[in-house]
Amino acid sequence: MNATYMKEYKASKLEAYVEARRKITNAWKEINTEFLYSIYIEVPTSVLKLAMKFARLVDIFQGDDFTDSTKFLKDVITMMLVERVNI
């Protein structure tokens, strides 16, 4: 998205990044709002939770375009599946 935005709007890399984060933030607000008001629709909560988990996973996979995503993803997977969690 960043390269397309930069080309279309003649924006810097930082401006494109800020715009992408703004859109992602707004999308999360919309997802959370819809989830909270889901009691008024006839979609099972399990389906809504699955969609929410998928959205979180996509956010993790995308990273932030400024870092090496393979290292970032490796760190996340290690943190979630390998390292101990002290409770």
What's the gap between Cα 32 and its chain centre?
Answer: 13
Question: Rounded to whole angstroms, what are the CA distances from 81 to 58, 73, 75, 76?
Answer: 18, 12, 10, 9
**Is residue 2 packed enough to be buried (19+ CB in 10 Å), middle (13-18) or exposed (0-12)?**
middle
**Which has the closest alpha carbon to 30: 52, 49, 13, 63?**
52
pTM of the model: 0.60
Tokens describing residue 86: 């002290």
> Above pLDDT 70, what percent of the chain?
87
pLDDT of the residue at 10: 92
pLDDT of the residue at 74: 78
Categorize the per-residue pLDDT at 3 as very low, low, confident or very high, splitting at 50, 70 and 90. Answer: confident
Please write the tens of the pLDDT for every residue from 18-58.
998 898 889 889 888 888 887 777 788 888 888 888 888 77
